[in-house]
Amino acid sequence: MNKRIRNLLIIAAAGVLVIAIGVFVQRGQSTTTAVTVTTVKRTTFSTSLPETGTVQRPRVATIPALISGNLEQIYVKAGDNVAAGQLLATVVNPTLQATAAGSQADYTSAAANISTARVNEQNAKVSYEAAVQTAKSNLDEAMRIYKADVSLYNNKAIPRNQLDVDKAKLDQAQVQYDQALRQMQLGAVTGYGQNSVQYAQAAAQKAAIVNQSNQQQLGFTRITAPVDGTIQTVASQPADPLTQLRPGDPVTAGQGLFTIAAGGGFIVKAQVDEQDIINVRTGQRAKITGEDFPGRTLTGYVSVIAPVATKSTDPSSTAKQVVTTIRLDGAPSFLRDGMSVDVDILTTDVRNAIVVPSAALNKDGKGSYVYVVRNRKLVKTYVGTGPKNDTQTVVKSGLLPGDSIVAAKDPLLHDGQNVTTTPAGKATPAS
């Protein structure tokens, strides 16, 4: 073999060796795949429903004028804290005052008439009883004379006409006695005449009813707070909304004079879309933020869900909304009735849950699964899932805290595959 042929053989052998090494390296690279992994741990999983809302007091009432007249005095201003029964304003009405004074006098007179009637009744009763006693004495005397005349007549001592005259007197005395007795009995029933105690009592009761009504009307000249709370507004003049009512201004019965917010903290009224209300329940926690108090987060809970859906306040929307009330846990001093806020209702709040990225879940005919990395190999592991949000899913079964799983889907991965791992959030080293 000459030198040329030998050199060609050496070159060919070297080429085969290079190719073999390349194939070996290529095969080694194809059997080991780099994947990004995340470690399973327990955490709190929550989903929230974002809405807008308005801060309000739990109860706001309008305090009206109950009678017509003119304002006499106003004792409070907007922002004042008041107690139930506290005087807020007075209204003057001269006609009403005169009527109340007159009915009071009538009642006082009618009540005094009862005492007079009792005296008169007693006097009348004595008179009736005296008349009965007189008639009884006359009857007894006529009876005595008649019996004596009967004896005399039987002994022929007096004529027949004398007996008849005395008999007529006896009959007349009997009639007079019966009448006097009957009149006394009727007098006891009727109260012995028109000016009886019963009549006086009835008249006094009627006067009391009229006077009570007039005094109640007079009491309406005093406007008082119905509950403990804060005065929200004082009415303005009808012709000038920017000018508050002043003493001397006329008011009419039913006209609102004040609005009062009862105590008890604040609530937030949120408009929840009708399609989302299925996820809202009373008792769910909520977070409240707002541009008016940056950097502060308030908490509360869903206290009331309206039973009906109403048309959206947005004229351009055809959707309906359900008014949902959030009661705040506290009442910070910076809150004001009418503030606009952002509300996040925690519709799901699972504590101590195993949560994985939703991107890590795969699915086949048997169900959902993830790839768990054990000893640098992929283990296809089926899991039971629960609630989820836009990026995460709760895993109820199949995984344990500390398991390392592939963080994202990859159709080229398969069970038993050799892998190298990089923790999620860290860059893969350059080759």
Same domain, 152 and 208: yes
323 is a domain residue? yes
- The pLDDT value given to residue 16: 44
Q: How far apart are CA 305 and CA 285, in angstroms?
A: 14
pLDDT, mean of residues 378-400: 92
Same domain, 105 and 210: yes
- Which range marks the domain in which residue 254 is found? 61-91+231-262
Question: Which pLDDT tens digit goes with each residue over 288-336?
Answer: 999 999 999 999 999 999 999 998 777 777 889 999 999 999 888 888 8
- Residue 215 gets which letter from DSSP? H
What CATH number does residue 251 fall under?
Answer: 2.40.50
11 is a domain residue? no
How far does the chain reach from its first CA to its final CA, in angstroms? 45
CA distances from 385 to 201, 348, 360, 413 (A): 84, 14, 12, 21
Torsion sign, CA atoms 279, 337, 241, 252: positive
Same domain, 102 and 185: yes
- Residue 14 gets which letter from DSSP? H
* Comparison of pLDDT for 87 and 196, the residue scoring more: 87
Which residues, listed in sequence order, are joined to residue 368 by a DSSP beta bridge?
363
Residue 53 burial by CB count (10 A; 0-12/13-18/19+): exposed, middle or buried? buried
CB neighbour list of residue 316: distance below 8 Å, 6 or more residues apart: none
* Comparison of pLDDT for 242 and 367, the residue scoring more: 367
130 is a domain residue? yes
382 is a domain residue? no
Number of C-beta neighbours around residue 132 at 10 A: 19
Of 258, 230, 226, 234, the C-alpha closest to 331 is 230
The domain total for the chain is 3
User: How would you classify the pairing of strands 267-273 and 320-328?
Assistant: antiparallel
Least confident of 71-80, 182-191, 207-216: 182-191
146 is a domain residue? yes
Same domain, 106 and 210: yes
426 is a domain residue? no
Same domain, 144 and 197: yes
Of the pLDDT bands very low, low, confident and very high (cuts 50, 70, 90), residue 25 is very low
Same domain, 161 and 202: yes
From 323, 350, 377, give the residue that closes a domain. 350
% of the chain residues with pLDDT over 90: 51
* Comparison of pLDDT for 163 and 395, the residue scoring more: 395
222 is a domain residue? no
Same domain, 179 and 277: no
Q: Determine the length of the chain.
A: 431
Structural contact between residues 143 and 170, judged by C-beta atoms closer than 8 angstroms: yes
- Tokens at 219, concatenated: 């009491």
Structural contact between residues 368 and 362, judged by C-beta atoms closer than 8 angstroms: yes
Is the model's pLDDT at 29 over the cut of 50? no
Is 400 in a helix, a strand, or coil? coil
Residue 404 dihedral angles phi and psi, to the nearest 5°: -105, 120
% of the chain residues with pLDDT over 70: 89
From 155, 190, 216, give the residue that closes a domain. 216
- The pLDDT value given to residue 6: 57
Question: Which pLDDT tens digit goes with each residue over 183-209?
Answer: 777 666 555 555 577 778 888 899 999
Same domain, 210 and 297: no
Same domain, 101 and 211: yes
Same domain, 71 and 108: no
Torsion sign, CA atoms 5, 6, 8, 13: positive
26 is a domain residue? no
Number of C-beta neighbours around residue 87 at 10 A: 13
Number of C-beta neighbours around residue 157 at 10 A: 10
Same domain, 174 and 152: yes
* Comparison of pLDDT for 412 and 24, the residue scoring more: 412
Same domain, 123 and 177: yes
CA distances from 165 to 15, 53, 135, 143, 362 (A): 182, 110, 19, 12, 138
Structural contact between residues 343 and 337, judged by C-beta atoms closer than 8 angstroms: no
What CATH number does residue 278 fall under?
Answer: 2.40.30.170
Is the model's pLDDT at 75 over the cut of 50? yes
Question: Which pLDDT tens digit goes with each residue over 112-140?
Answer: 888 887 777 777 777 778 888 998 999 99
From 350, 373, 406, give the residue that closes a domain. 350
